[in-house]
A and B are shown apart, each in its own frame.
Chain A
Amino acid sequence: MTVQLIAMQLFSGLALGAVLIMVALGLSIIFGMLGIVNFAHGALFMVGAYAGLYVAGLTGSFWWALLIAPVMIGLFGMLIERFLIRPLYGRSPDDPLLLTFGLGYVLVEAVRIFFGTDGIPFSTPAALRGVVNLGIGFFPLYRLFVIGVVVAVLLLLWVGLEKTKFGLIVRAGSADPLIMRVLGVDISRLWLVVFGIGVGITALGGVLAAPMRNVSPEMGTLVLAEAFVVTVIGGMGSLPGAVIAGLIVGVSVSMTSLFAPEMATIVMFALMALILLVRPNGLYGRAAPGL
């Protein structure tokens, strides 16, 4: 076991962390702002990948898929919010939870009917194939690209939430919707947009994952578990929490892979249990809004 191997393993862990952050981000945004536990998250991730496949097939370009598919699914998310979730605001938090849980099943079944149960190939775009020498070892160019996209998305989110008027309203709206309403802000429209953004980011995660994990109707099942582990460790609804937790989980999985590979998946859940024992609200958690 050389220093180089350990360094490479550490880097693989950070890269995996970036993938996990992408997977957890949409879930975290929607919970943080709207207080909705979105159980359709995995299914929307999968639908995003299929939308990417569809757009890529039509346009022949991965880049258009990366751009158009998340917007398409984001708009679809807004329809979900408008017609399915909005009637449930103000009721028990279990209601949207059950609704999205069922919605997840419907989406997976629909994809099975239209696209079949088999996996469908999704090539790595030609420009991003191959490996890059990092000095400590070789790493796929595509995964480096994914890290770049995740950093860009995080920056955009941060600027959008912290530096714009829209962000200010969103943050205020999540803190106290009633006062915002009194001040004349249309909270319904705000939540519609936030839900759409959350779903769009989830779909973007699906498109990004497609060349790495293949596209199949079940690809969202594991993602849902991963996303929950990361958001719970980070603190439900906290964006910095999701980022830190994603990296911690990635590195833990990677280091476990080196010493006890068969434990690689379990370590995620063990870590979650451990952190919940010490910090019941997660690393950056506060008591859930609206609960």
Chain B
Amino acid sequence: MTNGIEKLALRPIGRRAALFGLAGVAGTLSMPWIARAQAETIRIGFPTPLTGPFAAEANDQVRSAQLAVKLANDKGGIAGRKVELLVRDDKLNAGEAATRTLELIEKDKVHAVVGALSSAVQLAVNEVTRARSMLYISISQSDTINEIKDFSPYTFHEALNPTMTTAVVAKHSFKKGSKVAYLVADYAYGHEMLRGFKRAAKEIGAQTVSEILHPFGAADYSTFIPTILSSGADILCICNFGRDQANSIKQAVDFGVKDQMKIVVPVLLHNQRLAVDPEVFEGVTGGANYYWGLEETVPSAKAFNDAFRAMYKGTIPTDYGAYGYTGVASLLMAIEKAGGTEPQKVIAALEALKYDIAKGEQSYRKCDHQSMQSVLVLESKAKSAMKSDADLFKIVAAEPASESVLRTCSELGFKS
């Protein structure tokens, strides 16, 4: 309890910085003549759900993206041009996101779009950017965005995708003969994670004993728990995101689920772990694209963390937040290589790009534009094992970038 209030006291500092940052962006936007006066500015549209259940992750994305822009401007810009980030609240709503994206393209004349934090919303953004032949770096997990029917040569998927995340997480948490119960959010993210886990479970020889779809954004999970407890599972795999994750794990733990089975999630979220006490998440295992603790072994992670700490008063970047940085920074690298924002040249540059900006070697696979990158497996630490308030997870594994955890190009419908 006192723990909570300490956090409360700590919070306003970082928050205020973010608010100022947002206010700055809003200020620039309300002065369109400035944008026009410097016609050569590279403008990046950034739709993300600043309000709603994913707000914590979205605000981190903005902070990281602004860091990437600041670093680029500090060294004199990209290809001699200043960079500007235009942040828009997509309210976690596909329609809202499509409208904001269209505005960014038509009215604000952005050169590229980076963003979106929900699989469904990101597909809506993708629809718009695809129709307008606009560069889009998507930074939220999706499987369908890689498939031929949703594919656009203008879209690059910087985030992990459910197939690779679940393949790696299952490899490190399922065993032959494991009995797995699934609690799954009933929307694209949950469905894709479930499909990925079952695909991996089949290969490993784990067995599904229960499968429960819960409504997105449910407040109370108590009524799903008797079924889970009576399923005889030894692993409970909870496939949901944002506040749903904190709430469902908390309630499952209240009911004593952890005494009977291990809890596994596809993506272990930094902010959700912070939203509840360490005892609740202790021992919970899950995947991640980024964890600040990587800095002990990966030099680029150290550089990213240090730059972030310098800009945001000693705070550290989070998992989904880091996507804001890697998404914008990789795009800017490609624009630099292409010598400008001409889309075809940037596409060619992105396809050829080898980048290491926060977590080791990354590159975009040619056929589906999926970023090949390491997948981390994290385990939530016990309170006694935490060295600081930010020391949340132990890195169980860091599986290097590999095609073996991805569906093949022909499986996705591309001609090989």
**Residues of A participating in the B interface, judged by any CB pair closer than 8 Å:** 2, 4-5, 8-9, 12-13, 15-16, 19, 53-54, 56-58, 60-62, 113-125, 130-131, 137-140, 142-143, 212-216, 218-219, 222-223, 226, 253-254, 257-258, 261-266
Contacts and interface: CB of A to CB of B under 8 A. Distances in A.
18 contacts: A5-B227, A9-B223, A12-B222, A12-B223, A15-B222, A56-B5, A57-B8, A117-B51, A117-B59, A119-B274, A121-B3, A121-B4, A137-B230, A138-B229, A218-B52, A257-B227, A264-B215, A264-B223
Nearest to B278: A121
Ranked nearest first, the 6 interchain pairs of A and B with the lowest CB-CB distance are A57-B5, A119-B275, A257-B223, A262-B213, A265-B215, A254-B223
Contacts of A19: 220
A127 B4 CA distance: 18
A142 B256 CA distance: 12
Interface stretch (B23-31, B243-251, B307-315, B335-343): B243-251
Interface string B1-17: 11111111001100100
Contacts of A142: 254
B108 interface: no
A232 B301 CA distance: 54
Contacts of B220: 16, 19, 212-213
B222 A16 contact: yes
B254 A118 contact: no
Nearest to B50: A117
B224 interface: yes
A119 to B, nearest CB: 3
Contact of A123 (B56, B222, B277): B277
A213 B5 contact: no
Contacts of B274: 118-119, 121
A268 to B, nearest CB: 10
Given A5-B227, A117-B15, A118-B11, 6 more contacts: A117-B55, A118-B271, A121-B277, A212-B251, A214-B250, A261-B214
A113 B11 CA distance: 11
B240 to A, nearest CB: 13
B34 interface: no
A57 B219 contact: no
Contact of A120 (B8, B215, B217, B225): B8
A53 B15 contact: no
Contact of B1 (A5, A8, A57): A57
Contacts of A60: 1-2
Contacts, number: 154
Interface in B242-290: 243, 246-247, 250-251, 254-256, 271-272, 274-277
A253 B214 CA distance: 12
Contacts of B55: 117-118, 218
B222 A115 contact: no
Interface residues of B, number: 49
A62 to B, nearest CB: 7
Tell me the interface secondary structure of chain B in the complex: helix
A58 B8 CA distance: 12
Contacts of A8: 226, 230
A175 B19 CA distance: 50
A117 B277 CA distance: 17
A4 B1 contact: no
B218 interface: yes
A71 B24 CA distance: 40
B212 interface: yes
Given A56-B5, A120-B4, A262-B214, A2 B230 contact: yes
B222 A143 contact: yes
Contact of A131 (B1, B2, B250, B255): B255
Contacts of A58: 5
B218 A214 contact: no
Nearest to A58: B5
B304 to A, nearest CB: 21
Nearest to B219: A222
A142 B222 CA distance: 12
A124 B279 CA distance: 11
Contact of A56 (B4, B224, B227, B271): B4
B135 to A, nearest CB: 29
B53 interface: yes
B219 A223 contact: yes
A125 B2 CA distance: 11
A215 B225 CA distance: 21
A200 B220 CA distance: 23
For A19, A113, A123, the residue with the greatest tally of chain B CB atoms inside 10 Å of its CB is A123
Contact of B2 (A57, A253, A257): A57
Given A115-B8, A262-B215, A257 B224 contact: yes
B186 interface: yes
Nearest to B2: A60
A264 B214 contact: yes
A116 B10 CA distance: 10
Nearest to B259: A131
B314 to A, nearest CB: 16
Interface in B45-63: 51-53, 55-56, 59
B247 A214 contact: yes
Contacts of B255: 131, 138-140
B223 A214 contact: no
Contacts of B5: 53-54, 56-58
B218 A119 contact: no
A130 B255 CA distance: 8
A230 B43 CA distance: 49
Contact of A122 (B1, B19, B186, B256): B1
Nearest to A142: B254
Nearest to B255: A140
B223 A253 contact: yes
A113 B52 CA distance: 15
